[in-house]
Structure 1
Amino acid sequence: MTREPLIELRGVCKSFGDKVILDHIDLSIYRGEALVIIGPSGTGKSTVLRAIAGLIPIDSGEIYIKGKRRLGLIEDEEDSLRISLVFQQAALFDSLTVEENVGFFLYQHSKLPCEKIRELVEEKLEVVGLRGIGDRYPAELSGGMRKRVSFARAIMSNPENPQDNPEVLLYDEPTAGLDPIASTVIEDLVRHLQRTPGGCDTYVMVTHQQSTIRRTADRIVFLYDGKIQWQGSYAEIDTTDHPMVRQFFSASVRGPIKVID
């Protein structure tokens, strides 16, 4: 029996001015998988995430959510799937405490009492290993801690309205700018959230860091020149003879991927 994708991109195109970013992209995302999109910088990886999230319009093509075609941006219609995006720079509100940041969705979109929201926030902070820091501000946290706070915010759920609970997480370069040890903490947390009740079992990640690719990917999509050039399992990255994949993982300046000075 063929599985129906949670999210499907069919022939998606996107340009900014004269620059073609996505050129007839076909991509299916299934429940329970860890999909990682890789490729050189500036090849449209983050654009794919924003198109999936419904944050930017596509020029042509179609996006389906649980088999239903999305006709506009996320604010234009009610998707049957809640998608949470974890931004590269955490994107926390500097003027709000950690508790207010993590509970922001519930404060804005639920009728839950404040005490209940604070209790739920503390549960999510515990999931990401940050129990007891709700009264701090983002400026008081390390880069890795801010990333984890943004994860807690992304998985925030509403017990009174299960349809608000996230079913897909989108990670945009979650380990960018972190040292190797902090990166390992984040990589382990990504997998932990996938396997833990109260987390989210499906995610799509954009990254170019090899350790993150190897530790978080079940399926890999290689994006370059606006097109998906290769896809396979993480185990295949060491056995494929695809020249772009070989060049990317060997960090060679020689090969089909153009070097930008």
Structure 2
Amino acid sequence: MEEPLIEWRKVSKAFGSKVILDQVDLKVFPGEAVGVIGPSGTGKSTILKLLAGLIAPDTGEIYVRGQKRERTIEQGEAPQGIGLVFQQSALFDSLTVGENVGFSLIRHSKLSREKIQELTAEKLALVGMSNTQDLYPAEISGGMRKRVSLARAIISDPETADDQLNILLYDEPTAGLDPVGSTRIETVIRELLTVQKACSAYLMVTHVHSTIKLTTDRIVFLYQGKFQWEGTTDDAYRSEIPLLKQFFTGSIEGPIK
């Protein structure tokens, strides 16, 4: 049986007296596109921070590619081939597009500038941003900045990556975009996995219906610290379960308070 890329075993996390995650199990397998949905404030972004190694669980175990995570990145843990795409792109305004994409390689690799520029151009081409290396973030649109952040998430040092593609974590990647801009980003996200084979799997946190439908195959529904439902995206939209039905219709009547 195929081994999971990500595995959580009874993971819990609280901030003060507020329990965010309560004994949560999760598995993500190679090639999967998993959506994490649920009401605002339930801890979806916390899931991404735990997976990225930005924070540590209070209890439970997190495994990435079979290796147990013992510490956070701040404590010296290696990133383990995980790329996080932030909601607001989080580009450095003072750096060019190319410098933003290649930033981690410039800072942490032993690659030559020429090789980094080559890798940067390659990743930008994958997200439809060829010939933009010398532009600054202020010179491109919001949707284009999102695509630059995607290129940054999939770049890695070929001398240390061991041919393992990044696992991508998306935090509301289409927030604030018009419908056409959203569709462009959704198409790129899906093709990076299924066509370009530029990542090994991804988790998507979003409230946007088009993004859920176009970028996910499987959904986990987070509410009150638990995954209340898990299944295919198609089954989620057909479900008569009150939690899912209320979430997708936006009704104020139902179990979500």
Interval of TM-score (by shorter of Structure 1 and Structure 2): over 0.9
Structure 1 gap ranges (5+): none
Post-superposition offset of 1:119: 1.6
In structure 2, the residue corresponding to 1:163 is in which secondary structure? Answer: coil
Which deviates more from structure 2 when the two are superposed, residues 141-150 or residues 155-164? 155-164
Identity %: 58
Which deviates more from structure 2 when the two are superposed, residues 161-170 or residues 87-96? 161-170
In structure 1, the residue corresponding to 2:193 is in which secondary structure? Answer: helix
Q: Which residue of 1 aligns with 2:86?
A: 87
State how far apart, in whole Å, the 2-side matches of 1:159 and 1:61 are: 32
1:32 aligned partner, one-letter code? G
8 Å contact from structure 2 (residues 36, 203) kept in 1? yes
8 Å contact from structure 2 (residues 73, 79) kept in 1? no
Equivalent positions of 1:75-154 (< 5 A) are 75-76=74-75, 78-79=77-78, 81-154=80-153
Does residue 56 of structure 2 align to residue 57 of structure 1?
yes
TM-score, normalised to structure 1, is: 0.93
Which deviates more from structure 2 when the two are superposed, residues 218-227 or residues 190-199? 190-199
8 Å contact from structure 1 (residues 34, 204) kept in 2? yes
Post-superposition offset of 1:165: 5.3
Could you say if the C-alpha distance between residues 163 and 78 of structure 1 is closer, same or farther in structure 2, counting changes exceeding 3 Å?
Answer: farther
Post-superposition offset of 1:220: 0.3
Post-superposition offset of 1:3: 2.5
8 Å contact from structure 1 (residues 219, 233) kept in 2? yes
Which deviates more from structure 2 when the two are superposed, residues 196-205 or residues 20-29? 196-205
Q: Which residue of 2 aligns with 1:40?
A: 39
Structure 2 gap ranges (5+): none
Post-superposition offset of 1:19: 1.2
Q: Which residue of 1 aligns with 2:212?
A: 213
Post-superposition offset of 1:121: 0.9
Does residue 160 of structure 2 align to residue 161 of structure 1?
yes
Q: Which residue of 1 aligns with 2:175?
A: 176
1:96 aligned partner, one-letter code? L
Aligned residues: 257
In structure 1, the residue corresponding to 2:100 is in which secondary structure? Answer: helix
In structure 2, the residue corresponding to 1:84 is in which secondary structure? Answer: strand
Structural RMSD (CA): 1.6
State how far apart, in whole Å, the 2-side matches of 1:209 and 1:76 are: 34
Does residue 252 of structure 2 align to residue 253 of structure 1?
yes
Q: Which residue of 2 aligns with 1:9?
A: 8
1:36 aligned partner, one-letter code? G
8 Å contact from structure 2 (residues 168, 199) kept in 1? yes
1:213 aligned partner, one-letter code? I
State how far apart, in whole Å, the 2-side matches of 1:148 and 1:238 are: 28
Q: Which residue of 2 aligns with 1:233?
A: 232
Post-superposition offset of 1:62: 1.1
Could you say if the C-alpha distance between residues 198 and 221 of structure 1 is closer, same or farther in structure 2, counting changes exceeding 3 Å?
Answer: closer
Which deviates more from structure 2 when the two are superposed, residues 28-37 or residues 14-23? 14-23
Q: Which residue of 1 aligns with 2:66?
A: 67
2:187 aligned partner, one-letter code? D
